[in-house]
Amino acid sequence: MKKIIILCTILLISTVAFAASKRPKKSKIFIVSSYHKTYLWSQDTQKGLCDAMVNFGFLDNKDQADKFTKNDYIESSSAIVKKAWMDTKRKNTRSEIAVTVNRLMEEITEFSPDLIMLGDDNATNYIGNQYIDTDIPVVFWGVNGLPLKYGLLDSLEKPGHNITGVYQAGYLKECVEFLKKIVPDIKTFAILSDDSPTGRSKVKELQNLHESGVLQLELTGCVVTNSVEEWKNKALELSRYSDAFFILNHNSLKDRTGTPIDQLEIGGWYLKNIKKPECAHEKQFAEEGMLSVCDDSGFNQGYEAFALTNRILINNENPALIAVKAPLRGPFIVNKERAKILGIVITEEMGVESYIEKCLALQGNY
């Protein structure tokens, strides 16, 4: 009888071991965002990532996606995913970024991922350059302008290394054209931006578009600063002789003590003090309260980046051969509350595809 029991036990252990060996290995994915999870852009890209993870079977259901968004960690039946935040809009000095990069390198090494995803410019630049030509594939999203600038790709068509991804086309020309449809009488515009990699990149693109003569408005001035006092003063000055504004990122603004100022606080000041129409290039700014947006969709950035992750991990495609592209634009958006404040009547001929009802920056304490 003892021999039978021992034999059965051995058979059971062998069966379990064999089944375990046949069970698919869970994919381990480490995600790094350049920013902070409270930012509107970060929330938009997170929604795209989560939808893709559910649709491609890396998460089992929407509840897991919600838990991942809350906890920055999830283990599903087929994947283990961890996310970390660099917060480089606020912690943006060289020493602060160096500390953050060192911390993340330790976390990534300990996690031992099968693939790394990098969100936006700073993560792509500072973390991506640590892993170029390693055995770990890397997928980025949200790079402003052509991502060749960080030395990670041989070309957009054939990246040539272990790194590929999606970038932001900007749709800046389309933003100006859409604003002109809404407010046909405007002839000039000015640019308001922080002094961040994202802001500087978009300012340069707009200046190049203006110099090439393809914009329908004349550029009267440009603000690129991380000083909130300078940003406000120049906004007031430019409003005296500009018909409209192009609002770019303003997450990196700080007061005289070096304390970061919340995006919605800045937005609230602008909306209360500047009574000129404005356009922007991402849905987050329409949610904040800006009049019009041709959306360079954060959702699409996150979704399409994870679609590439699926191709690499499931289809075994080589990232060196996967072309880098910009996703299609999102909708033309108008903020109804801002339109009402400015006395603008929205008509069907303007081509609005989506509406935001309220200005977040005018709610609560902002």
Whose tokens are 């892993």? That residue is: 131
Q: Is 32 left (phi over 0), alpha (psi -120 to 50) or beta?
A: beta
Two structure tokens written together for 225 = 């600063």
pLDDT means per 10 residues in the chain (366 residues)?
45 38 76 95 97 98 98 98 95 93 97 98 96 98 91 97 95 97 98 94 95 96 97 97 97 94 96 97 97 96 98 98 95 98 96 97 77
Which H/E stretch holds residue 294? strand 292-294
The Cα–Cα gap between 294 and 175 comes to 5
Domains of the chain, earliest start first:
27-169+298-321 (3.40.50.2300), 172-295+331-362 (3.40.50.2300)
**Residues 193, 203: Cα–Cα separation, whole Å:** 7
Beta pairing partners, 27: 79
Closest CA to 81 of 246, 310, 294, 341: 310
Let me know: does 119 contact 304? Beta carbons within 8 Å. no
Q: What does 146-160 look like in DSSP terms, one character per residue?
A: -GGGGT--S-SS---
- pLDDT score at 235: 98
Element (H, E) at 333: strand 332-335
